[in-house]
Copies of this chain bind each other. A is one copy, B any other.
Amino acid sequence: MTYAARDASTEVSPNMSSVFPSNSSTPLSTFSAGSEIYAPRQKASCLYRIEFGAVRLHRMLSDGRRQVVDFYLAGETFGFEVSRTHSFFAEAMVATSTRTHCLADNTGTQPELLGLALHGMLRAQEHILVIGRQTAMERVAGFLLDMSDRQGGLKHFDLPMSRLDIADYLGLTIETVSRVFAKLRASGLIKLRSIRCVEIIEKTALRGLCA
């Protein structure tokens, strides 16, 4: 973690009346690639809205196995918790800037927060279906379509995460992810413009691969 980045994350004003004022002057924090935003057991009191960059939320088992619970991209918000402390690691995957909104105890932010929580629950529950019942090919195909959609549905887009992040998100290994990418490329459904830039050639066919 970068010390400068950590310091920046703590410069937050205590009282926000609204969660996301559009012309916000809330503090802007920046994190370098790979730096930690928060860790389990740390006090949870802020929401983070990503201005640019991308974040992974993950947890580890004692023997090093890791599960990425979710990715957050530009425009998305993370950081809300049931309890007073965090349950996961949040780390910037690339250079990332966030607007930090601290929650007062008793404000009008709850309607927005409720929406975020319900949306987060649905996303997590749908991810359970993916990881519990889909094949490696189905998982990767669905992942690419999700990434495409969340970046405006463009034909080509950059993956802000490494193969290891993708593997840990989909409950696979890097090798399996790499092999599925290779198979999709060989069958002409996608192109890899560079190692992190994906172009979707046959969106319909790709969609057909998802169960």
Contact = CB atoms under 8 A, between A and B. Distances in A.
Q: By CB atoms of chain B within 10 A, which of A61, A80, A117, A127 has the most?
A: A117
A146 B70 CA distance: 24
B171 A61 contact: no
Nearest to A59: B129
Interface in A128-161: 128-129, 131-134
Interface stretch (A23-31, A84-92, A183-191): A84-92
A11 interface: yes
Contacts of A118: 80-82, 117
Interface stretch (A48-56, A108-116, A192-200): A108-116
A67 B74 CA distance: 30
A interface, size bucket: 35 or more
Nearest to A58: B129
A9 B83 contact: yes
Interface of A: 2, 5, 8-9, 11-12, 57, 59, 61-63, 65-67, 69-70, 80-85, 87-88, 110-111, 113-115, 117-122, 124-129, 131-134, 168, 170-171, 211
Given A63-B211, A124-B127, 8 more contacts: A5-B59, A12-B83, A82-B119, A114-B117, A124-B124, A124-B128, A128-B128, A131-B132
